[in-house]
Chain A
């Protein structure tokens, strides 16, 4: 076997090994360089893997040469390949952005440890994406969760500590629920390999143990992906975490959880069972709608902009849940598309807020007064990414919302189409509040704020450009989402 055959394990190994190396150094700058190198290499490997998947189909890798179902198997299909690509891309961009931001927000002696925790969290998320073993999902989930508790607690504000603790309690309960669910599945199928489970499951689907397992799994993942009303940990955690951490987690953590939920729902249980036999589609639609309305409403009244965008994230998860709940090909592809687009827009927005935090020292709405003239590039980035969040034509956000509205109309649920429009309108209000302060407010006299440094602007604008690019060129995202969803839906009866 050449090195090329070992690509699937390399994406996990590189960040996992780089993490302890980072923690050995006392100087933050060395750790920063190592983390950067690891993240960009992983990104490169992810691109190679995707190429391989697109030309030769699903990539399978047997850990230690043990054949499934005895050994752990890594299995990356098209959808997994793209989720992997976006997670590694965001990690590389956020790490490129992070150096100055982290130096100003975290004590010097903790910087190296910060990068170590960041890489561990990254390795966990990558592992969750590519593994084909149900128990392995739990292990990687805990690796990423435990390190994200530590990352959040490094925030400057002391409320970061209580937010991290709250997240630890709710996150652990969620992960334990997932563990119980996997236990029930194992009890009935006798295997941990996801493909194997999917094959055996239809024979035992009519038992109470499987239904109970299904319920535990969905509640557990619901907690991790912040599905309304299980989102209570999210606003504070994102608001008080260091800026780079908010950007990374907002763009990747919930997306990977959604992807895992999709794999369990569609890949193992199958559409017929998850969204037919069990009334999970109705639950998702109801909770999604409640999430969109209530969280958007709460976001409008937030004074802290990071908290505002955190609530907006819960609302976006609502759109995704609604898309999955509609349970048609269009609905699920809309959800998958929104997953990608949301990662791009929230990544850009939270990084831009990090730049504001770096220059101004606060992200309260008052501190945005007059920033439109003082930090034109940063504010333009917020404006464009914000438009994408609202769903204005020409941006990526429009495409996924368009598909979502189409999906609701296809099945004749026009009230939900109206609800999506109302949600977008509310996004217009809260994004409008930031832009109003930035462009029409007047800066306090005597305070001069400089534009963010170029090292911060480049990663932000790469994501902003991606938002526009994928708003104009839909073949890639829409085509892929359709293809991936079709594969998921036909996999099982």
Chain B
């Protein structure tokens, strides 16, 4: 059962990083940790006590459930896509604001009230 504790720890650590860090790149890293914890959660629940890896072999009666593994393949793809969109946005934010610190960006946003066009 220790892996569930690992899930909780990773999830909370990732969530904490997302909330507490002002640096946008660190936020993306935290989000990645947060999503990774869910992979472990799914894979842990797919484990059947005493079950072998879900590959048909002679003489094996009990297999672990392969469905969560397959689901997590999709979730990993989603996670990678989220991270890359997030980092792409950070790059464009850096181009437009010259900073990736949340405080600086808020300061710049509040100082202008009118439209500030980015380069098109």
**Chain A interface residues toward B at CB < 8 A:** 106-107, 135, 138-139, 142, 146, 149-150, 153, 156-159, 161-162, 164-165, 168-169, 172-173, 175-176, 179-180, 183, 186-187, 192, 303, 362
Q: Is the CB of B117 within 8 A of A153?
A: no
Closest-CB distance, B109 to chain A (whole angstroms): 6
Dominant SS among interface residues on chain A: helix
The reply on B69 being an interface residue by CB < 8 A is no
Q: With A165-B86, A176-B35 given, name 7 new contacts (CB 8 A).
A: A156-B120, A159-B116, A161-B89, A161-B97, A172-B82, A173-B31, A179-B38
Query: Which residues does B use to contact A, with CB under 8 Å?
Result: 15, 18, 24, 27, 31, 34-35, 38, 41-42, 45, 67-68, 71, 74-75, 78, 81-82, 85-86, 89-90, 92-93, 96-97, 105, 109, 113, 115-118, 120
Cα–Cα distance between A159 and B108 once the two chains are bound (Å): 10
B119 to nearest A CB, angstroms?
8
Closest residue of chain A to B30 (Cβ to Cβ) is: A169
The residue on B at minimum CB distance from A363 is: B115
Contact B116 A153 (CB under 8 A): no
Q: In the complex, what residues of B have CB within 8 A of residue A176's CB?
A: 34-35, 38
Is there an interface contact between A150 and B85, defined as CB atoms closer than 8 Å?
Answer: yes
Q: How far is the CA of A172 from the CA of B15 in the complex (A)?
A: 11
Are B18 and A180 within 8 A (Cβ)?
A: no
* Distance A159 CA – B75 CA, assembled complex (angstroms): 30
Q: Give, as a whole number of angstroms, the nearest-CB distance from A112 to chain B.
A: 15
- Taking A146-B85, A168-B85, A173-B18 as contacts, is the C-beta distance between A180 and B118 under 8 angstroms? no
- For the complex, give the distance between the alpha carbons of A162 and B68 in Å: 35
Which of A162, A172, A303 contacts B93, CB < 8 Å? A162
- Known A165-B90, A169-B18: A158·B34 in contact at CB below 8 Å: no
In contact, A362 and B115 (Cβ under 8 angstroms)? yes
Given contacts A168-B86, A172-B31, contact A183 B118 (CB under 8 A): no
User: In the complex, A423→B86 CA distance in Å?
Assistant: 37
Alpha-carbon distance between A47 and B90 when the two chains are bound, in angstroms:
41
A142 to chain B: closest residue by CB: B78
Contact between B85 and A180, CB atoms less than 8 A apart: no
